[in-house]
Amino acid sequence: MATYQATASAPVNIACIKYWGKRNTKLILPTNSSLSVTLDQDHLRSTTSSRADASFEKDRLWLNGKEEEIERDGRLWVCIDALRKWRQEMEQADSGLDKISAYHVHFASHNNFPTAAGLASSASGLAALVASLSHLYSLPQTPSQLSLVARQGSGSACRSLFGGYVAWRMGEKEDGSDSLAEEVASREHWPEMHALICVVSDAKKGTSSTSGMQRTVQTSPLLQHRIKEVVPGRMDDISKAIREKDFESFAKITMRDSNSFHAVCLDTEPPIFYLNDVSRSVIAVVEELNRAAGKPIAAYTFDAGPNAVIYTLEENMPKVLNLINRFFPQEASFANPFKMDWQSAQVPEGFNTKVVPEGGWEKGAVKSLIHTRVGDGPRKLDDGESLLNEDGMPKTLN
Amino acid sequence: MATYQATASAPVNIACIKYWGKRNTKLILPTNSSLSVTLDQDHLRSTTSSRADASFEKDRLWLNGKEEEIERDGRLWVCIDALRKWRQEMEQADSGLDKISAYHVHFASHNNFPTAAGLASSASGLAALVASLSHLYSLPQTPSQLSLVARQGSGSACRSLFGGYVAWRMGEKEDGSDSLAEEVASREHWPEMHALICVVSDAKKGTSSTSGMQRTVQTSPLLQHRIKEVVPGRMDDISKAIREKDFESFAKITMRDSNSFHAVCLDTEPPIFYLNDVSRSVIAVVEELNRAAGKPIAAYTFDAGPNAVIYTLEENMPKVLNLINRFFPQEASFANPFKMDWQSAQVPEGFNTKVVPEGGWEKGAVKSLIHTRVGDGPRKLDDGESLLNEDGMPKTLN
């Protein structure tokens, strides 16, 4: 008897033009387009295995070994249902195909980074699930078509279906059929883009992005201006910067848009704060590095939390590592996956160390650093890497 | 021989609708109207004495005992010159008047609050100077006319020429002749308005408001929307709230506008941060107090620094004092000028103490508290309170 299963991994993406606000919360249609850089799965990834079997009694999902309910009409269910319908259509058109759309499916999913890292795992997780199930069903749909499905699972997941530099076009249609992700440029076009994630300690639990963004939509007068007048131009400008590999423009727009996003959070009622004093200090260091360098050579960006992501070209990463390690000592020593000699990196002359508190921050204000770079899109993995055992139940991971 | 001298004190004002941005930096014409509450001079005031004498060789000014240069065509000079011209006109029209406009003037000015408190002393200081010199010259000009002069010394000084609730109308004319302050309501109309200033410790020197606001004008796309679409409606709404003594609306608009102002600071390039983690925590406490109370009973507002000003009606101040003293212990004990029994104040049931770090902040995160209330406009003081001695030199203050 045949075994129907597939395994795929998908990457994390970090937006340069931020998604904040839905015009349709059910279909997850955004109030503005957004653009992200896909990060390398060699460092950060979600992996999902899916298996269809006549013996399964219902669809089931295990996330990091723990079962999660697949609620009917919930976001996960909507994604699975959409892909299953595409499989059904194929089976109806070609009677030679196995009728596996009638079977229930088991999913096992795993993130190789701790949830505590504060990275949005829902985007990579949903993208891995969609990629894995589309392989199981041998679907002919393009990544952009699959992104329509992933979007309904978790908005920014749609961007994790591509590698490189990815735009999520907000679209205009009411049914959401044109609200999808597209590649702006491949990883190979500009492979020198590196990223340093600074995991910032925060005592306080922040506002969830799902509830926060809708509060902003409802109460912030400034958001309306951001949506209509600010973001469209930035989408064009940063796409051009990426095509021309113009890091200065890329950096300026990225920092501007991060600040604009946090500005509309502050303009929300009650105000939403994601940046804390450590985040502000990372901003101060990057701004001062750029000032001393005479041009932007690094760009910070912050999602719905205090963690900083610093984009910089490979050649300048040692400078960034030097400064961040100097002012923000971590508990554990930095892993340094690219074996960079950051200790002896030359920081631009005239860098004013007074931008950070004297003596730097106390150990652990930045908990850890993750150094990665631009990466590829979802990967199909061998059966040997399946997260499901022979019975279609989750393997125990060590 | 006659002595020509006068002494006046002027109050601090704290804006509810914020002034941020000049359309004309020379004349100090703002990009939007603003509105403030004048605070009680019994607690916070600047006092200025001025004396005209034929023997003086030039105009001189001492601020808190230290001489400051009066630069030709500088902001101080412009104010003195404008009032002197009005005096000249009077002397030309009435030959019976002493020709004191030909004399140089000595000024001595003093603030009764430490500069370290981070309160804008330039507003009260300039207003006291203008009030004092207008008395010395026996000028017939109204406070609104005098506000045109004070505005050119330090924008928000124009609002300190009135007590109570004061609007600074941005005006339309290029020469600034309609950019002046007006009373919206007197102190007597709504005397129950109290204010608690929380002086927040900050390691880092912030961006000066003069340079910060022009950077915002030059770089923030969101500021343009704030100016054109957001502030005009708020000016109308808060004026109505004040006229109707509607504290809920007053509080909502005040908090909104403070957040909107700090949002455009964040949208500036490079971003400007005035709020720190302690400021954010004060916001969290006030928001939670309002939530637990079921309606806004307190309103925070922040100027260009981390200090919070909390407006609340007299009857609710004990609750505010209880919470702030509980979570933000100060080095010195609270002076309690109104002898309020805040220790036994009932905080609304259901107040969630988790909005602040466990155990509250460390001693000194809030350095000190100043409890005051809505106050009157500039006061003419007796000669006995002059800050100048018989020779027209500054007295030594203890």
Where b means 16+ CB within 10 Å and e means fewer, A307-333 reads bbbbbbbeebbbbbbbbbbebbbbeee
Number of other residues whose CB lies within 10 A of the CB of residue B259 = 26
What mean pLDDT comes out for the span B285-305? 97
Residue A354 φ then ψ, to 5°: -70, -5
Q: How many angstroms separate the CA of residue B162 from the nearest CA in chain A?
A: 30
- Taking CB atoms and an 8 Å limit, are B263 and A259 in contact across chains? no
Same domain assignment for residues A172 and A206: no
| Residue A221 to residue B283, Cβ atoms within 8 A | no
Predicted local confidence at residue B159, as pLDDT: 98
A205 and A62, same structural domain? no
Query: How many residues does this entry show for chain A?
Result: 398
Q: Is the pLDDT of residue A259 over 90?
A: yes
Q: Do A222 and B204 touch (CB under 8 A)?
A: no
For the record, the structure tokens of B170 come out as: 């941005």
A316 is a domain residue: yes
**Hey, which residues does A60 pair with through a beta bridge?**
A106
Contact B262 A266 (CB under 8 A): yes
A151 found inside a domain? yes
Instruction: Please tell me whether residues B137 and B148 are part of one structural domain.
Output: yes
Residue B105, domain member (yes or no): yes
Establish, for the pair of chains A and B, how many residue pairs have beta carbons separated by less than 8 Å: 77
User: Closest partner residue to B283 among A204, A271, A277, by Cβ?
Assistant: A271
3-state secondary structure chain A: CCCEEEEEEEECEEEEECCCCEEECCCCEECCCEEEEEECCCCCEEEEEEEEECCCCCCEEEECCEEECCCCCCHHHHHHHHHHHHHHHHHHHCCCCCCHHHCEEEEEEEECCCHHHCCCHHHHHHHHHHHHHHHHCCCCCCHHHHHHHHHHHCHHHHHHHCCCEEEECCCCCCCCCCCCEEEEECCCCCCCEEEEEEEECCCCCCCCHHHHHHHHHHHCHHHHHHHHHHHHHHHHHHHHHHHCCCHHHHHHHHHHHHHHHHHHHHCCCCCCCCCCHHHHHHHHHHHHHHHHHCCCCEEEEECCCCCEEEEEEHHHHHHHHHHHHHHCCCCCCCCCCCCCCCCCCCCCCCCCHHHCCCCCCCCCCEEEEEEEEECCCCEEECHHHCCECCCCCECCCC
Residue B93 lies in a domain: yes
The domain spanning residue A104 has which CATH number? 3.30.230.10
Which residue is listed with tokens 């907000």?
A: A170
Contact B263 A263 (CB under 8 A): yes
What total number of domains does chain A contain? 2
pLDDT of residue B116: 60
Note whether A151 and A200 are same-domain residues.
no
Q: Same structural domain for residues A329 and A349?
A: yes
| Residue A43 forms part of a structural domain | yes
- B35 vs B38: CA distance, rounded Å: 10
Digit-coded pLDDT (tens) for B14-70: 999 999 999 999 999 999 999 999 999 999 999 999 999 999 999 999 999 999 999
Residues 51-90 of A with CB under 8 A from B: none
* Residues B97 and B14 placed together within one structural domain of the fold: yes
- Mean pLDDT, rounded, of chain B: 95
Q: Is A224 on the interface with B (CB under 8 A)?
A: yes
A140 & A244 share domain: no
From B203, B266, B280, residue closest to A262, measured CB to CB: B266
Share of chain A above pLDDT 70, in %: 97
Q: What is the model's pLDDT at position A286?
A: 98
Instruction: Take residue B62 and report the two structure tokens written for it.
Output: 């001492």
The pLDDT tens digits for B157-176 are 999 999 999 999 999 999 99
% chain A with pLDDT above 90 = 92
Rounded Cα distance between B173 and B235, Å, is: 19
Name the least confident of A275-289, B20-34, B102-116: B102-116
Specify the CATH number for the domain of residue B287: 3.30.70.890
- Give how far the C-alpha of residue B9 lies from the chain's centroid of Cα atoms, to the nearest Å: 13
Contact by Cβ (8 Å): B231, B20 = no
CA distances from B242 to B167, B253, B269 (A): 11, 11, 35
Are B234 and B326 within one domain? yes
**B222 and B287 housed in the same domain:** yes
Q: How far apart are CA B21 and CA B304, in angstroms?
A: 12
What are B342-397's pLDDT values in tens digits?
999 999 999 999 999 888 999 999 999 999 999 999 999 999 999 999 999 999 86
Domain assignment present for residue A327? The answer is: yes
Tens-digit pLDDT profile for residues A128-146: 999 999 999 999 999 999 9
pLDDT reported for residue A398: 52
Subunit contact A271:B259, Cβ cutoff 8 A: yes
Percent of chain B exceeding pLDDT 90 equals 92
- Judged against a pLDDT cut of 70, whether residue A283 lies above it is answered with yes
Task: Count CB atoms within 10 A of the CB of residue B144.
Answer: 15
Containing structural domain, residue B156? 4-190+381-385
Q: Please state, in angstroms and as integers, the Cα–Cα distance from residue A316 to each residue in A165, A289, A320, following that order.
A: 20, 11, 7
The answer to whether A222 contacts B259, with C-beta atoms less than 8 Å apart, is no
Asked if residues A284 and A329 have their Cβ atoms less than 8 Å apart, the reply is no
Please tell me whether residues A33 and A160 are part of one structural domain.
yes
**Domain-embedded: residue A393:** no
Inside any domain, residue A334 = yes
By mean pLDDT, which of B200-214, B279-293, B301-315 is the weakest? B200-214
Q: Is B262 on the interface with A (CB under 8 A)?
A: yes
Do A167 and A96 fall into the same domain?
Answer: yes
Given a contact cutoff of 8 angstroms between Cβ atoms, the answer to whether B100 and B56 are in contact is no
Residue among A270, A276, A283 minimizing CB distance to B271: A283
- Asked if A259 has any chain B CB less than 8 Å from its own CB, the reply is yes
Rounded to the nearest angstrom, the minimum Cα separation between B296 and chain A is: 12
Judge: A271–B260 Cβ closer than 8 Å, yes or no.
no
Q: Report residue A147's pLDDT band, with 50, 70 and 90 as the boundaries.
A: very high
* pLDDT category of residue A333 using cuts at 50, 70 and 90: confident
How do strand B366-373 and strand A298-302 relate by DSSP bridges? unpaired
Q: Residue B1 pLDDT more than 90? A: no
Q: Are residues A50 and A199 in the same domain?
A: no
pLDDT at B201: 79
